[in-house]
Amino acid sequence: MNRSLPKNLGLVSLAQLFSTQAVAYDPNFYVDFAERGMIGATVVTVVLAIGALFRLFNTIIKVRELKLYQEQGIETSLNVQELHRESIWARLSRALTRAVPVAQEQDIMLDHHYDGIRELDNRLPPWWLYGFYLSIVIAVTYIGIWHFSDHATSSSEQYAQEVAAAKKAQAAFLARQANLVDETNVTLLQDEIALAEGQEIYQDYCAACHAPQGGGALGPNLTDNYWLHGGRIQDVFKTIKYGVPERGMIAWKSYMRPTDIHKVASYVLSLRGTSPPNPKAPQGELYQAEERTTPDHEEESKVLGMKLKEQ
């Protein structure tokens, strides 16, 4: 009784295992199994049918060979077999060139001759003809697509697109170059457009302290030759950029781009020697202006001014 208990428990566990697996089976398992079996059987049938057809074709070929032996003799039959023994490349070459063997050139020789030179009536090679026909198809397709449809751009349209892309890239490059200006490489702008833009910036940010015409108010007079922090373009640029906190002038680098500081600094220096109404008394040290610019420096300023036009 006790010895049979483990066996009974094993049978019960095995039954539960099979019952659990049966429940876990997909309800469509047998349907799928039947479909796969039918597909496999179909594949086998097709393979067997192809093999039968292949044997049938071989039998037909043998029958035709025997018939050829009877009608045309053994020699002709052997020539046909030799033709079939040729390599694929040899048959392909003959099909593409349609060359007439030298031994048979007499059959295609024309009647006329020039100084003893005879002409053969050879056919054009198929590869040449097919290439010629293909070039006609390509030409017609090209003309139709590029000249009578909207599916492709013409050379002039491609040129216009490339020019527009180049101008965009040039503008981005000039913008990067212009924004690289600082107090170490700044030059005096003399371009009228750049100075006009500098004047607008001056009226917006600087006129409140230096007067609209630069004569000075809370800030110093900008029209005389006396400067508190230097009168070179580098000095003016640096003063605007970092400001003078002890005198109440903020650092404008947080509010202006380097290009804007460049323009307004050049405009400030253009006010030197003008006569504003009620100018403020001179402050700072006398600054003797350097010689205007050398030809190279002047050219450099013009080029940089052209860059700033793009901003």
- The pLDDT tens digits for 212-225 are 999 988 899 999 99
Domain 178-309: assigned CATH number: 1.10.760.10
Q: pLDDT class for 80, splitting at 50, 70, 90?
A: low
pTM given for the model? 0.42
User: And the tokens for 217?
Assistant: 């108010």
Q: Which amino acid is at 299?
A: E
Asked whether residue 294 carries a pLDDT value surpassing 50, the answer given is: no
In this prediction, residue 77 carries a pLDDT of 60
Q: Is the dihedral of CA 20, 21, 22, 24 positive or negative?
A: positive
138-147, 211-220, 285-294: least confidently modelled range? 285-294
Q: pLDDT class for 296, splitting at 50, 70, 90?
A: very low
Asked whether residue 167 carries a pLDDT value surpassing 60, the answer given is: yes
Mean pLDDT computed over every residue of the chain:
77
Task: Note the pLDDT tens digit of each residue in 93-137.
Answer: 666 666 777 777 778 788 877 888 888 777 777 788 888 999 999
Q: Can you tell me which residue has the tokens 């039968």?
A: 52
Q: Kindly calculate the radius of gyration of the chain based on its CA atoms and give it in whole angstroms.
A: 49
Asked whether residue 232 carries a pLDDT value surpassing 50, the answer given is: yes
Q: Which amino acid is at 91?
A: R
Listed by start position, the domains of the chain span 4-85, 178-309
User: Read out DSSP for 85-136?
Assistant: HS-HHHHHHHHHH-PPPGGGGGGGEEEEEETTEEEE-PPPPHHHHHHHHHHH
Task: Note the pLDDT tens digit of each residue in 7-58.
Answer: 444 444 444 444 444 444 455 666 677 777 788 888 888 888 888 787 777 7
Answer with the residue of higher pLDDT: 249 or 305: 249
Give the DSSP H/E element, type plus range, for residue 269: helix 258-270
Share of the chain above pLDDT 90, in %: 26
Q: Can you tell me which residue has the tokens 């056919």?
A: 123
Q: pLDDT class for 268, splitting at 50, 70, 90?
A: very high
Rounded CA-CA distance 124/135 in Å is: 16
Residue 309 to residues 171, 192, 216, Cα–Cα distance (Å): 10, 10, 29
